C-alpha cells in the first residue's frame, strides 16, 4: 500500500531513472524527505533489471536518455509490473509523445522546470491511484453501454477513444490543446476534463479569445487597477484570478493577436501576470485547457502564432473527428436531440422516419454536431405528428447563389408552394430514372444513389406506383 509521511504501515518504493546525475540526486533527496524509499538508475537498462528483481510502486523517468528512452522504459516496466505507476519527465514538451505515453499507461507527464509542490502532488496522486485498472475497465464498460461521457454522446470507436483519453488526461495537471472543426464539441471535452479532475469543485472559467475585441481582452484576462484608464473606476480582477485553483479554458486560441500572445505566454509559463496599471505580480494556480479550429502548426510556420506559446499549450493534444467521419454517431445524437427538443416544445415526437434518417446519414454536416442539433430542433418545431418526416427535415443542399446558377428560378407575385415544386422536381427525376432502367426499381434506386426502400417510399408519397 502506498504511503508517505502519513503514518501508514508500508513505505512506498520509488524508482528514479535519469542520465543526469544532478537530477537523480535532487529527486532522491526530495522524495526521501517526503518519507518514500527511493532507488535510482542512470539508464533504462539498469531500471528494467531492477524491476525484474524487486517491486516498485512508482517509476519516475526522464523521457530523453541515450540508449533506451523513457517511453521504452515505460513499455518495459508495464510488461514486468503493470501495476507500477509511471511519471514521465521531459525538458521538451511534445504533444504526440504525451499522447503515446498516456496510451502506454503513463499516469502523468511533467516538464522538467516543474514546481516542487507540483511534483509532490503528482507523486501523491499517482500512489493514491495505484491499482485502479479494474476501475478503468468498469469505466470503458459503462461508456460502451450508455454511449455518453459527461455531456458528450457517441458510440463510434473515435468517440470511445476520446472518452478514454479524457479520463487519463483529467488525472494529470498537464496543459491540453483540443483540436477540431467548429461544432464538434470542444468545450464539452474541456468540461469533461475538468469534471473528472481533482479541480472539479473549483472554477471552470471560459474565455472566448475570438469573441472579445483585442482592446478589451487583456483587461478581461488579467484585470485592471483603478484609474488605469478613463472608465476604470475601481480595481477589477481578471478571469485568470477568478480561476485560481481551477481551470482556464481558452477557446479559439488561434484567434489571439500577436501582442496578446506575448502577454499570455508569461501567464501560461509562469502562472504570473500583472493587472493593467498594476505594479505587483499576481501568481495563480490554474490549469490551462485551450481549443481551436485553426491549424496552429501552419500558423506557427507562417509566423502568426508564437512557437513557444504553442508548445506550452500543446502538451497533450486531443483531436476530435468531424461528424462526417463518425457517422455511426448520428442516429444516437438524433435520438437525444429529438427527446431534448420534444420536451422543450411540449411535443410527443418519439422518433425519426427511416428515410429522413437516411437523408441525414448522407449529409456531410460542415457544421458538425451543432448543425445536426439545429436541424433537429427546427424539425421538431415544425413537425405536427409524432415522428419526424422527410418533408419537415430541412437539410441545406446548396447555397442560394449556386441554386440560381443551376435553375431558372422566378417566384411570381402570388408566391408558390415550395413542397409542390420540390415534389415536381423529385417526380421528374424518378420518372427519368425509371425510364433509363426500363422500370427496374432496383436499378433506378442505384441511378439516384438511394436505397430501394427510399425509392419505394418516394414513389408512394408521389403516387407513382
* Per-residue pLDDT tens over the stretch 151-164: 888 888 888 888 88
pLDDT of residue 343 exceeding 50, the answer is yes
The pLDDT assigned to 140 comes to: 52
Cα dist from 59 to 5, 112, 119, 127, 465, whole Å: 19, 15, 13, 10, 73
Domain(s) labelled CATH 1.10.8.60 in the chain stretch across 324-392
CA distance 375 to 308: 41
Range(s) of the chain covered by CATH 3.40.50.300: 136-319
The residue-averaged pLDDT of 127-132 equals: 69
Q: What angle do CA 292, 366, 318 make, to 5 degrees?
A: 35
In this predicted structure, which of 96-110, 283-297, 435-449 has the lowest mean pLDDT?
Answer: 96-110
In terms of Cα–Cα distance, which of 419, 363, 417, 424 is closest to 395?
363
Q: How confident is the model at residue 406 (pLDDT cuts 50, 70, 90)?
A: very low
The CA–CA distances, whole Å, from 411 to 230, 261, 421 equal 55, 52, 11
pLDDT of residue 37: 92
pLDDT at 209: 86
Please write the tens of the pLDDT for every residue from 49-90.
999 989 899 999 988 888 888 888 998 888 888 888 899 888
Q: CA-CA distance, 272 to 222, in Å (whole number)? A: 10
**Residue range 422-431: average pLDDT?**
79
Architecture of domain 136-319: 3-Layer(aba) Sandwich (3.40)
Q: Enumerate residues 6+ apart whose C-beta is below 8 A from 38.
A: 13, 14, 15, 16, 27, 28, 31, 32
State mean pLDDT over 410-417.
72
CATH code for the structural domain at 13-130: 3.40.50.2300
Q: The domain 324-392: what is its CATH number?
A: 1.10.8.60
CATH 1.10.10 matches 415-461: yes
Strand 152-153 to 148-149 pairing: antiparallel
Best CA proximity match to 167, nearest among 176, 155, 156, 154? 176
Mean pLDDT over 355-381 rounds to 90
User: Distance between the two ends of the chain, CA-based, in angstroms?
Assistant: 75
Under 8 Å between Cβ of 186 and 180? yes
Phi and psi at 290, nearest 5°, equal: -120, 160
Cell of 187: 468545450
Highest mean pLDDT among 183-197, 262-276, 448-462: 183-197
Locus of grid cell 477513444: 161
pLDDT band for position 1 (cuts 50, 70, 90): very low
pLDDT digits (tens, 9 = 90+) for 141-154: 555 555 677 788 88
- Domain(s) of CATH 3.40.50.2300: residues in the chain: 13-130
Q: Is residue 7 scored above 60 in pLDDT?
A: no
Q: Start-end ranges of CATH 1.10.10 in the chain? A: 415-461
Give exposure, 107-136, as e/b (b: 16+ Cβ within 10 Å). bbbbbeeeeeeebbebbebbbeebeeeeee
pLDDT of the residue at 356: 85
Give the three cell numbers for residue 143: 461508456
CA atoms within 13 A on the CB side of 270: 12
Amino acid at each position: 500500500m502506498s504511503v508517505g509521511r502519513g503514518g501508514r504501515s508500508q513505505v512506498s518504493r520509488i524508482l528514479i531513472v535519469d542520465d543526469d546525475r544532478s537530477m537523480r540526486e535532487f529527486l532522491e533527496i526530495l522524495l526521501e524527505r517526503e518519507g518514500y524509499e527511493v532507488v535510482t538508475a542512470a539508464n533504462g537498462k539498469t531500471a528494467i533489471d531492477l524491476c525484474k528483481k524487486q517491486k516498485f510502486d512508482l517509476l519516475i523517468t526522464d523521457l530523453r536518455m541515450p540508449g533506451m528512452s523513457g517511453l521504452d522504459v515505460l513499455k518495459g516496466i508495464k510488461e514486468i509490473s503493470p501495476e507500477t505507476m509511471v511519471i514521465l519527465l521531459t525538458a521538451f514538451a511534445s504533444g504526440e509523445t504525451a499522447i503515446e505515453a498516456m496510451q502506454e499507461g503513463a499516469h502523468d507527464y511533467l516538464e522538467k522546470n516543474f514546481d516542487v509542490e507540483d511534483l509532490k502532488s503528482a507523486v501523491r496522486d499517482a500512489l493514491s491511484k495505484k491499482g485502479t485498472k479494474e476501475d478503468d475497465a468498469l469505466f470503458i464498460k459503462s461508456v460502451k453501454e450508455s454511449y455518453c461521457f459527461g455531456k458528450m454522446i457517441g458510440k463510434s470507436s473515435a468517440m470511445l477513444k476520446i472518452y478514454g483519453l479524457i479520463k487519463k488526461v483529467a488525472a494529470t495537471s498537464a496543459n491540453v490543446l483540443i483540436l477540431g472543426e467548429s461544432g464538434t464539441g470542444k468545450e464539452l471535452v474541456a468540461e469533461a476534463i475538468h469534471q473528472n479532475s481533482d479541480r472539479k469543485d473549483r472554477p471552470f472559467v471560459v474565455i472566448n479569445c475570438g469573441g472579445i475585441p483585442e482592446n478589451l481582452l487583456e483587461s478581461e484576462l488579467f484585470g485592471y487597477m483603478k484609474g488605469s484608464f478613463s472608465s476604470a473606476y475601481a480595481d477589477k480582477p481578471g478571469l485568470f484570478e477568478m480561476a485560481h485553483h481551477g481551470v482556464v479554458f481558452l477557446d479559439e486560441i488561434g484567434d489571439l493577436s500577436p501582442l496578446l500572445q506575448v502577454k499570455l505566454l508569461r501567464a501560461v509559463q509562469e502562472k504570473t501576470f500583472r493587472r493593467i496599471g498594476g505594479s505587483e505580480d499576481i501568481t495563480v494556480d490554474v490549469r490551462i485547457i485551450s481549443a481551436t479550429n485553426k491549424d496552429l502548426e501552419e500558423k506557427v510556420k507562417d509566423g502568426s502564432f508564437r512557437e513557444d506559446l504553442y508548445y506550452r499549450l500543446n502538451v497533450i493534444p486531443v483531436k476530435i473527428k468531424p461528424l462526417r467521419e463518425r457517422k455511426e454517431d448520428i442516429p444516437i445524437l438524433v435520438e437525444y436531440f429529438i427527446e431534448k427538443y420534444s420536451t422543450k416544445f411540449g411535443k410527443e415526437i418519439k422518433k425519426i422516419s427511416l428515410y429522413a434518417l437516411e437523408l441525414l446519414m448522407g449529409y456531410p454536416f460542415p457544421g458538425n454536431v451543432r448543425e445536426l442539433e439545429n436541424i433537429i430542433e427546427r424539425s421538431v418545431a415544425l413537425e405536427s405528428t409524432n415522428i419526424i418526416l422527410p418533408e419537415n427535415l430541412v437539410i441545406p443542399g446548396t447555397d442560394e447563389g449556386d441554386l440560381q446558377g443551376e435553375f431558372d428560378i422566378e417566384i411570381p407575385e402570388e408566391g408558390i408552394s415550395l413542397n409542390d415544386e420540390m415534389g415536381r422536381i423529385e417526380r421528374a427525376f424518378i420518372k427519368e430514372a425509371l425510364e433509363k432502367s426500363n422500370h427496374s426499381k432496383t436499378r433506378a434506386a442505384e441511378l439516384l444513389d438511394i436505397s430501394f426502400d427510399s425509392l419505394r417510399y418516394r414513389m408512394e408519397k408521389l403516387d407513382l406506383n
